[in-house]
Chain A
Amino acid sequence: MKNKQKYIYPLIAWIVVLVIWEITVRIFAISPIILVPPSQIGPVIIDSFSVIYQQLSFTFYEVIIGWSLGTLVAFLVAVSCFSFKSLANLLTLAAVIVSAVPLIALAAILGGFLGTGQNTKTLLVAILCFFPMLIVSLSSFTRIERSYLNLFRTYQASWSQRFLKLILPQSLPALLNTMKINTVTALTTAIVSEFFGAHGGIGQFILSRKGFYDLPMVWAAIFYLIIATSIFYLIMNMLQKFYSHWH
Chain B
Amino acid sequence: MQEQKSSSTSMLVIGLVVVVLIGLGIVYLAKKSPDKKSADGKKDKIVLQLKWVPQAQFAGYFVADKKGYFADENLEVEVRAGGVGINPVDVLVAGDADVAVAWTGNVLPAIAKGEDIVNIGQGFQKSGMVLVAKKKSGINAPADIKSKKIGVWAGGNETEPFAFIAKQGLDRDKDVQIISQAFDMNQLFNDEIQLASAMTYNELELVYENGYKPEDLTVFNLDENGSGMLQDALFVKRDYLTNNKDILVRFLRASMKGWDYAVTHQEEAVDMIGMDFAANDVTARPHQIKSMAQVAKLTIADKGTSEGLFYIDQTKLANTVSIAENFVKEVKEGKKIDVNKIYTQEIWDEARKDVKFSDYKNL
Contact = CB atoms under 8 A, between A and B. Distances in A.
Contacts of A197: 151, 179-183, 187
Nearest to B90: A33
A112 B15 CA distance: 47
Contacts of B183: 108, 196-197
A195 B187 CA distance: 14
A46 interface: no
Contacts, number: 115
Contact of B93 (A20, A34, A210): A34
Given A28-B31, A108-B182, A197-B181, A16 B84 contact: no
Given A31-B114, A115-B187, 8 more contacts: A5-B8, A32-B113, A32-B114, A116-B182, A116-B192, A207-B85, A208-B155, A211-B156
B182 A16 contact: no
B155 A210 contact: yes
24 contacts: A5-B8, A17-B19, A20-B20, A24-B23, A28-B30, A30-B27, A30-B30, A31-B30, A32-B114, A33-B93, A34-B94, A104-B84, A108-B183, A115-B187, A116-B182, A197-B181, A199-B179, A210-B87, A211-B87, A211-B106, A211-B158, A212-B158, A213-B110, A213-B113
Interface of B: 5, 8, 11-12, 15-16, 19-20, 23-24, 26-27, 30-31, 84-85, 87, 89-90, 93-94, 106, 109-110, 113-115, 151-152, 154-158, 179-184, 186-187, 190, 192, 330
B186 A208 contact: no
Given A24-B27, A33-B113, A210-B155, A195 B85 contact: yes
Contacts of A34: 30, 90, 93-94
B156 A13 contact: no
A34 B87 CA distance: 11
A87 B153 CA distance: 44
Which of B183, B192, B330 has its CB near the most chain A CB atoms (within 10 A)?
B192
Nearest to B94: A34
B140 to A, nearest CB: 25
Contacts of B182: 108, 111, 116, 196-197
A112 B155 contact: no
The majority secondary structure among interface residues of chain A is: helix
Contact of A21 (B23, B106, B110, B192): B23
Interface in A170-218: 194-199, 204, 207-208, 210-214
B16 A211 contact: no
A112 B113 contact: no
Question: Which bucket holds chain A's interface residue count?
Answer: 35 or more
B31 A212 contact: no
A212 B12 contact: no
Given A24-B27, A33-B115, A115 B155 contact: no
Nearest to A21: B23
B27 A213 contact: no
B330 A214 contact: yes
Contacts of B184: 108, 111-112
Contacts of B27: 24, 28, 30
A116 B191 CA distance: 11
A31 B84 CA distance: 22
Contacts of B84: 104, 195-196
Contacts of A199: 179-180, 192
Contacts of A32: 113-114
Contacts of A17: 19
B330 A208 contact: no
B29 to A, nearest CB: 10
